[in-house]
Amino acid sequence: MPLLDGFTPWPETDAARYRAEGYWTGTTLGAVLRNSARRTPRRTALVADGRRLSYAELDEAADRVAAGLRAHGLGPGSRLLVHLPNGLPFVLTLFGCFRAAVVPVLALPAHRESELVHLARLSGAAACVLHGGPEQPGLAEAVTRAAHTVRHVFTTGPAGPGPWHPFDALTAASPDAGAPDDARPQDVAVLLLSGGTTGLPKLIPRTHDDYAYNLRAAARAAGLDAHTVTLLALPAAHNFALACPGLLGTLHAGGTTVLAPSPAPDVAFDLIARERVTTVALVPPLVLAWLDAAEELAPDLSSLTLLQAGGARLKEETARRVRPVLGCALQQVYGMAEGLLNLTRLDDADETVFTTQGRPLSDADEVRVVAPDGTDVPEGATGELWTRGPYTLRGYFRAERHNATAFTPDGFYRSGDLVRRLPGGNLVVEGRLKDVINRGGDKVPVEEVENHLLAHPRVHDVALVGFPDADMGERTCAFVVPRGEAPTRRELLDHLVRRGVAAFKHPDRVRVLTGFPRTGAGKVDRAALARTLNTPAEAL
Ligand code: OOB
């Protein structure tokens, strides 16, 4: 029996095959850390918040947090909403959850009240852990007011009244010496957020077995070992930085993870030189920023051997600059929180690394490239990517209606990505079918943002459209049909801030129209709107 209702397990025949063929090894994510701690207790596991933790210390701290969670009535299957930046509390919370079989719901640091309330309600969170920044009291109040299941708020800042606790309440517990791991390999270990769906974010259940395979295989494909020093520059709450191979893959390999407080080049370059960082993962706008800054600052990046780039399409000309400027190899990663990872391999020819987004991580990944009628397109032609495999979900959490269309009856996930498959199996990402704008790796769900804008009293109708941008790949423009006097962009942004909408979803441009162009079927003609933006940048 699955621990969580609302989770769609793999059919038993597939699960049995994944076990028999060694993809699922019956391990838990808590055991990933435990195993490395047994092998190399004294090696440095983590450098974060000015502290260095050995594997033994991190392992013991994880046990303490697990005990702390249990002491607050959280147990197997309880959901814990986690809203933390890269830092020690994030890692401790994560492993405390894995050990106590509490399921963390990983919100992104950029998320605000609107997203957090939605996630707390959808997950039925019993508690949340919040970063102690200036906005924290407001966020805590909003979440507890709107989500009645939330009984405890832990915060890394000063604790307020009521059900608020300092984060130390979790770490102060004495570990139940030798307490067994409460988790079972087949159960949901973590709920990730979808960047790829329309409407409000969906929750992606990842089991211990599937995610452990994901991080092991990704660690192998990225060549990680005990000498690896990974810089976590992207938010650790995102799948790419968490397990592709990221934090979890590095812990599995017995290497060291350095948590960067910011991905800004000056901060990151200092950490790379000081900690002799070997590996880092970035989204394309950051790759560009690092390349430009490295040319200017000539930092010591001599330890760096691998840059992974993913989250959005990397331009070929940017890819070609990586080795000459940063002195390291490039690996393109085309992944999704839903599961499937594609990567270029370390021994691929340069042309493959510069011009493709790689091929599936696993021999067991099934990838189809299909035409609108669901038939496979010929090799080299563009179609939608459908996938199924040992680490790709079979259903979003508690989303029965959406699941009916997001998956085929035989369990393929319809990614909504338009790709081409080249001879040799490498994929090139050509675009998207779904209404999500990829703003430099940040996914902007069109319908969600339009609904927020529609709630403005002077917005009669609105269409959010992406337009090409040299640095970000795409940016967003809100076409507004006003009711009475048109609102200014500033007024609309203030409105979104008041509604607690993450800043990366705020439109980069606003254009006022008296009405929308329509397609033959009477729908808003988004393509026609987009064409009006193909003009050189105008004043924002
Ligand atoms: C990663 O995950 P998500 O869930 O934030 O976003 C997934 C979507 C994909 O469906 C695709 O549309 C786009 O992001 N994407 C790329 C890409 N990597 C992701 N589009 C073009 N080129 C790429 N290299 O973004 C993610 C998860 C794990 C590893 C890397 C990225």
pLDDT digits (tens, 9 = 90+) for 361-419: 999 999 999 999 999 999 999 999 999 999 999 999 999 999 999 999 999 999 999 99
- State whether 374 and 423 are in the same domain: yes
Residue 121, domain extent: 58-183
- State whether 458 and 421 are in the same domain: no
- State whether 426 and 443 are in the same domain: no
Which of residues 401, 416, 432 is at a domain's end? 432
The response to whether residue 311 sits with its C-beta less than 6 Å from ligand 1 reads: yes
191 within some domain? no
Question: How many whole angstroms from 470 Cα to the centroid of ligand 1?
Answer: 18
The response to whether residue 415 sits with its C-beta less than 6 Å from ligand 1 reads: yes
Q: What's the CATH code of the domain at 396? A: 2.30.38.10
5 within some domain? no
What is the pLDDT, as a whole number, of residue 178? 56
The response to whether residue 241 sits with its C-beta less than 6 Å from ligand 1 reads: no
Q: 210 pLDDT exceeds 50?
A: yes
Q: What's the CATH code of the domain at 83? A: 3.40.50.980
Quick one: which atom of ligand 1 is closest to the CA of 417?
12
Q: Which residue owns the Cα nearest ligand 1 atom 19?
A: 311
The response to whether residue 244 sits with its C-beta less than 6 Å from ligand 1 reads: yes
- State whether 426 and 460 are in the same domain: no
pLDDT in tens, 140-179: 999 999 999 999 999 998 877 667 899 999 998 887 655 6
Where does 196-264 have alpha helices with state H? 208-221, 239-243, 246-253
* Residue 60 near residue 93, CB atoms below 8 Å: no
* Residue 509 near residue 477, CB atoms below 8 Å: yes
The response to whether residue 420 sits with its C-beta less than 6 Å from ligand 1 reads: no
319 within some domain? no
Q: 59 pLDDT exceeds 50?
A: yes
pLDDT in tens, 480-534: 999 999 999 999 999 999 999 999 999 999 999 999 998 877 778 998 999 998 7
Question: How many whole angstroms from 115 Cα to the centroid of ligand 1?
Answer: 20
Structure ipTM: 1.00
188 within some domain? no
What is the three-class DSSP state of 364?
coil
* Number of domains composing the chain: 3
The stretch 232-243 carries a mean pLDDT of 98
The response to whether residue 235 sits with its C-beta less than 6 Å from ligand 1 reads: no
Q: DSSP character for 389? A: -
Laid out side by side, the sheet with 103-106 consists of 164-166, 152-155, 127-130, 79-83, 103-106, 188-193, 203-207
- State whether 382 and 478 are in the same domain: no
Range name among 96-110, 185-199, 214-228, 489-503 with the lowest pLDDT average: 185-199
The response to whether residue 357 sits with its C-beta less than 6 Å from ligand 1 reads: yes
374 within some domain? yes
pLDDT band at 45 (very low <50, low <70, confident <90, very high): very high
Q: Which amino acid is at 85?
A: P
Which of residues 127, 156, 183 is at a domain's end? 183
The response to whether residue 122 sits with its C-beta less than 6 Å from ligand 1 reads: no
401 within some domain? yes
215 within some domain? no
What is the three-class DSSP state of 208?
helix
454 within some domain? yes
The stretch 187-197 carries a mean pLDDT of 91
Q: 65 pLDDT exceeds 50?
A: yes
Q: 93 pLDDT exceeds 70?
A: yes
What is the pLDDT, as a whole number, of residue 538? 44
Cross-strand bridge partners of residue 188 = 207
- State whether 418 and 443 are in the same domain: no
Which of residues 376, 397, 432 is at a domain's end? 432
Q: Which amino acid is at 275?
A: E
**pLDDT over 90 for what percent of the chain?**
89
What is the pLDDT, as a whole number, of residue 179? 65
Question: How many whole angstroms from 345 Cα to the centroid of ligand 1?
Answer: 17
Question: How many whole angstroms from 147 Cα to the centroid of ligand 1?
Answer: 30
The response to whether residue 429 sits with its C-beta less than 6 Å from ligand 1 reads: yes
Q: Which residue owns the Cα nearest ligand 1 atom 5?
A: 195
Q: What's the CATH code of the domain at 445? A: 3.30.300.30
Q: Write out 115-157 in H/E/C secondary structure.
A: HHHHHHHHHCCCEEEECCCCCHHHHHHHHHHHCCCCCEEEECC
- State whether 466 and 449 are in the same domain: yes
First to last CA, the chain: 54
- State whether 392 and 445 are in the same domain: no
pTM of the model: 0.95
- State whether 482 and 527 are in the same domain: yes
Q: 25 pLDDT exceeds 80?
A: yes
Question: How many whole angstroms from 299 Cα to the centroid of ligand 1?
Answer: 29
Residues 456-460: contacts with CB under 8 Å, at least 24 apart: 456/487, 456/491, 456/492, 456/495, 457/483, 458/482, 458/483, 458/484, 458/485, 458/486, 458/487, 458/491, 459/483, 459/487, 459/492
Quick one: which atom of ligand 1 is closest to the CA of 415?
10
Question: How many whole angstroms from 466 Cα to the centroid of ligand 1?
Answer: 17
- State whether 75 and 152 are in the same domain: yes
Percent helix, strand and coil across the chain, each to the nearest 5: 35, 25, 40
Question: How many whole angstroms from 460 Cα to the centroid of ligand 1?
Answer: 33
224-242 burial, b if ≥16 CB within 10 A, otherwise e? beeebbbbbbbbbbbbbbb
- State whether 479 and 401 are in the same domain: no
- State whether 88 and 174 are in the same domain: yes
The response to whether residue 419 sits with its C-beta less than 6 Å from ligand 1 reads: no
Question: How many whole angstroms from 195 Cα to the centroid of ligand 1?
Answer: 8
Which residue from 108, 234, 336 has its CB within 8 A of the most atoms of ligand 1, so it is best to mutate? 336
